[in-house]
Copies of this chain bind each other. A is one copy, B any other.
Amino acid sequence: MKELDPILHSQLRLAVMSILMNVEEADFVYLKEQTESTAGNLSVQIDKLSNAGYITVTKGFVGKKTRTTCQVTEQGRKAFEEYVEALKGYLNL
């Protein structure tokens, strides 16, 4: 039984990664809506994914409002795929 990457084996971080795997990029507000998480929790988990090198976080402006955008990195994509493979060993898929 393979190890399950602890960075990905967390509901919220997995949800964020799952979304980012399917889109070019997603901003903080969108991720918050989709995951139905609190801003605080999301902020912390985005930090962890970013520190792990799984996503990049870009802070910019849209008009006068701040906008934090996230993108999955190649490393993140690979880690996600490996996590899925590892999980399959547990789920009998």
Residues on B with beta carbons closer than 8 Å to the beta carbon of A91: 18, 84, 87
- Residues of chain A touching chain B, judged by Cβ–Cβ distance below 8 Å, are 1, 3-4, 6, 9, 11, 14-15, 18, 21-22, 34-36, 84, 87, 89-93
Residues on B with beta carbons closer than 8 Å to the beta carbon of A89: 18
Identical chains in the assembly: 2
CA distance A36 to B2 in the complex (A): 10
| Pair A92/B9 contact, Cβ less than 8 Å | no
| Pair A92/B1 contact, Cβ less than 8 Å | no
CA distance A93 to B85 in the complex (A): 11
A50 CB → nearest B CB, Å: 19
Q: Which of B18, B35, B90 contacts A92 (CB 8 A)?
A: B18
A-B contact pairs, 24 of them (CB 8 A): A1-B15, A1-B18, A1-B34, A1-B35, A1-B36, A3-B11, A4-B11, A4-B14, A6-B11, A9-B9, A9-B11, A14-B90, A15-B90, A18-B89, A18-B90, A18-B91, A18-B92, A21-B92, A22-B92, A84-B91, A84-B93, A87-B87, A87-B91, A93-B93
